[in-house]
Amino acid sequence: MELTNYPVAPIGSSMTHTKAYSAVAATSPLAPATISRRNPGPHDVQIQILFCGVCHTDLHIARNEWGGTTYPCVPGHEIVGRVINAGSHVKNFKEGDIVGVGCMVDSCRTCENCQDGFEQFCDKGAIFTYNAPDKHLGGMTYGGYSDSVVVDEAFVLRMPANLDLAASAPLLCAGITTYSPLRHHKVGKGQKVGIVGLGGLGHMGVKLAHAFGAHVVVFTTSPGKVEDALRLGADEVVVSTNTDEMKKHGSSFHFILDTVAASHDINAYFALLKRDGNLTQVGVPAEPLPVQVFSLLHNRRSFSGSLIGGIRETQEMLDFCGEHGITSDIELIPIQKINEAYERLLKNDVKYRFVIDMASLK
Ligand SMILES: NC(=O)c1ccc[n+]([C@@H]2O[C@H](COP(=O)([O-])OP(=O)(O)OC[C@H]3O[C@@H](n4cnc5c(N)ncnc54)[C@H](OP(=O)(O)O)[C@@H]3O)[C@@H](O)[C@H]2O)c1
Ligand SMILES: [Zn+2]
Ligand SMILES: [Zn+2]
């Protein structure tokens, strides 16, 4: 297969080349490419990527659905791999360790948010794993749809030894993005919790909310997912297109996590919150969602957002998943099937996370 031309590292420079899949424009499919990675500095680890999950964010950004994508774009922020090289000052990792990299690879580390463990809200802007300014090489960061990556050890996670490696890759975005708001809102025993959308994020939300002891209700637009939702840990399933079924749950939820990636009627979910109930939005439709203020006034309801989670909390989530044997339900694909996987995401045809077997890139 022909490789797309990339700026290549001059001989003797501090860069090496690695294979990747990239989009060169919003309308072009992902295709093989060669990219540059920095050689590891004293605090860096170089990771051979074994598996990379496919998040709906990858699709939004590859196709510039939110604006702001710089091309070429190499998506991928659910990375599991093996350390193949560790810089001289690296303390926590050594060659051969199995590690993870999620949505961030750096931040300022000195602002209040960074100091408090919320690097995702860094005042100077977190450096996301792809499509963020790369201070080392210039240009933009490139994500996990590639052979290898070099990351400062402060942004590298330890993977639980007992979990299947491919199935634990999605914990690094889908896992933490659902764990963090569920924890923040103290979801647990005695609470009725809704998860809207049974895709990558949603199915992790179900598993985690169930593990925290909540009564979990899944809202899906896909009647074919009802059985799976129950198997994944839901106590009840509502097909959200059925308004009578929706009404039965009026004013009864403590907390609802909305993972939907497309436009939908958010007000129908506000109506399901009991007094002081909260709906947290983690799905990011490209278009603004219309909010009926009246549906928030009753029951003093609140509407919030949540963005992934900090490094400390991501490690806490991984350790929790290790202890409770929680992984993602995945469909392993060779990287050559990535464009097909994107089309299937758009049809809600994912059970429940695509993970790329990076050996296919060889
Ligand atoms: N906030 C964050 O930090 C963060 C992190 C990661 C991802 N995200 C965002 O979260 C969203 C979900 O990501 P994902 O990877 O979980 O996506 P996904 O696997 O494609 O799942 C999304 C699910 O939403 C439901 N859905 C899709 N279109 C719908 C529609 N028109 N009306 C109602 N429901 C619909 C479907 O579930 P059913 O078939 O069950 O209806 C679908 O499976 C994306 O927008 C992504 O960018 C946010
Ligand atoms: Zn993601
Ligand atoms: Zn900061």
Q: What's the domain range around 257?
A: 174-305
130 and 236 share a domain? no
Q: What is the pLDDT of residues 297-308, one digit of tens each?
A: 999 999 999 999
Contact assessment for residue 105 and residue 128, using Cβ atoms and an 8 Å cutoff: yes
Q: Cα(343)–Cα(199) distance, rounded to whole angstroms?
A: 14
Q: What is the pLDDT of residues 14-56, one digit of tens each?
A: 788 999 999 999 999 999 999 999 999 999 999 999 999 999 9
27 and 144 share a domain? yes
- What is the residue with the minimal CA distance to atom 21 of ligand 1? 199
Helical pair 174-184 and 311-324, crossing angle rounded to 10 deg: 100
Q: What is the pLDDT of residues 310-344, one digit of tens each?
A: 999 999 999 999 999 999 999 999 999 999 999 99
Contact assessment for residue 173 and residue 308, using Cβ atoms and an 8 Å cutoff: yes
Q: Which atom of ligand 1 is nearest to the CA of 198?
A: 40
Q: Cα(125)–Cα(108) distance, rounded to whole angstroms?
A: 8
Which phi and psi (to 5°) does residue 180 adopt? -65, -50
* Alpha carbon separation from 50 to 17, 32, 132, 188, 360 (Å, rounded): 17, 17, 23, 34, 10
Cis amide bond preceding 352, omega within 30: yes
Q: Which atom of ligand 1 is nearest to the CA of 59?
A: 47
- Residue 171: closest CA among 126, 128, 201, 141: 201
- Please list, residue by residue across 215-248, b when 16 or more beta carbons sit within 10 angstroms of its beta carbon and e when fewer do: bbbbbbebeebbebbeebbbbbbbbbeeeeebee
Q: Which atom of ligand 1 is nearest to the CA of 285?
A: 45
Q: Cα(198)–Cα(229) distance, rounded to whole angstroms?
A: 7
Q: Cα(257)–Cα(254) distance, rounded to whole angstroms?
A: 10
With the most atoms of ligand 1 within 8 angstroms of its CB, the residue from 178, 218, 279, 284 to mutate is 284
- What is the residue with the minimal CA distance to atom 22 of ligand 1? 199
pLDDT at 206 over 60: yes
**CATH number of the CATH domain containing 99:** 3.90.180.10
Cα 200 to ligand 1 centroid, rounded to whole Å: 7
**pTM of the full predicted structure?**
0.96
Cα 102 to ligand 2 centroid, rounded to whole Å: 8
Lining ligand 1 with CB less than 6 A are 55-57, 60, 173, 177, 197-202, 220-222, 225, 259-262, 264, 282-284, 306-308, 345, 348, 350
50 and 122 share a domain? yes
In the structure, what pLDDT confidence band is assigned to residue 5 with cuts at 50, 70 and 90? very low
Cα 13 to ligand 1 centroid, rounded to whole Å: 41
- Residue 88: closest CA among 136, 37, 149, 46: 46
78 and 198 share a domain? no
pLDDT at 143 over 60: yes
Q: Cα(329)–Cα(70) distance, rounded to whole angstroms?
A: 31
Residue 185 lies in a domain: yes
Number of domains in the chain: 2
Q: What is the pLDDT of residues 64-103, one digit of tens each?
A: 999 999 999 999 999 999 999 999 999 999 999 999 999 9
- What is the residue with the minimal CA distance to atom 39 of ligand 1? 222
46 and 57 share a domain? yes
Contact assessment for residue 352 and residue 198, using Cβ atoms and an 8 Å cutoff: yes
169 and 233 share a domain? no
**CATH number of the CATH domain containing 241:** 3.40.50.720
113 and 21 share a domain? yes
Counts for the chain of helices (H) and strands (E), in that order: 11, 17
